[in-house]
Amino acid sequence: MILSLLVQFSILLLSTISISIEQAETILQNNDENKLIAKQSQSIEPSTNIQYVYMSDYENYRLYKLIPRAGSTTTQTAVANKWLDQYLKLSFETPDRSYPYVVQYCGSNMLAFFLRNTTVSIQNINALLMSRLEAYDNSQYVCYLSVLKEHRQHGLGTKLLNAFINDAIRTNNARVSLHVNTENKSALSLYLKCGMRCIDYISGYYFGDRTYPTQNAFTMTLQLKNVRNSTAVCQSTTAVNIPQQEDALYKQRCPQASTG
């Protein structure tokens, strides 16, 4: 009798902890994925001496912050510049344009998306934002924001801008700014959605560069003190609250840039 009860109890216990083969495979897959994240969360690329710091996941992509480390050799910097030049040519679809010295010129803050389960390297970037610190007014200036053609329509540019603005808030920057071609309506619409406003219209800003549809540009800026909900920036119009007087000044300076 006692033996029978023990057998029944053992069967009941096993039934409560049993899992399906599919569940076991899912657990193993998640464990492998977590190990991959942990392995690459602070990885360093020897050929460029760039450190990759894992930030977050988004759909089928992973967001990393790219940090050029101190003590890089001339060769390492040259390799980083070469690969970034190749990426920018491809993402902007400007094969005849050169992007020299991008690490030195605009490598103080780099954010990039990579497909999951790919090697984290400049050679595998799918979307990129590069900015530099403007120390004279404690601002971050966006030099480049681009997404490879085959990875567009996934919201990667919006996510990059959101992460960039949040990072600028964390580091106590006063504002973020950039220049945009006056005919780039899709980019202008995105920047306006993120709370950026035009503070200047510059005729001939892209003088001599025929890769742009026009030579003119808007100078866009976002005063970070106006951000009310950092997580919703670029997603909700209520995330940024621009004082009425300040907004009126923007419209006065750039009436043609008030809509995307």
pLDDT at residue number 208 = 75
pLDDT at 167 over 90: yes
> pLDDT, tens digit, for every residue of 210-245?
777 788 999 999 999 999 999 999 999 899 999 999
What size, in residues, is the chain?
260
Q: Within a 10 A sphere around the Cβ of 151, how many other Cβ atoms?
A: 17
To 10 degrees, the CA torsion angle through 119, 110, 145, 163?
A: 100
> pLDDT, tens digit, for every residue of 61-80?
999 999 999 999 999 999 99
Higher pLDDT, 5 or 199: 199
The Cα 161–Cα 109 span in angstroms is: 12
| Global confidence as pTM | 0.82
Place of tokens 């219209």: 201
Domain boundaries, the chain: 41-173, 178-259
The Cα 55–Cα 113 span in angstroms is: 10
pLDDT at residue number 257 = 83
> pLDDT, tens digit, for every residue of 79-123?
999 999 999 999 999 999 999 999 999 998 999 999 999 999 999
CATH fold of 41-173: Aminopeptidase (3.40.630)
The sign of the dihedral angle between the CA atoms of 5, 6, 9, 14 is: negative
Residue 207 falls in which region: left (phi positive, over 0), alpha (psi -120 to 50) or beta: beta
Mean pLDDT of 11-25: 42
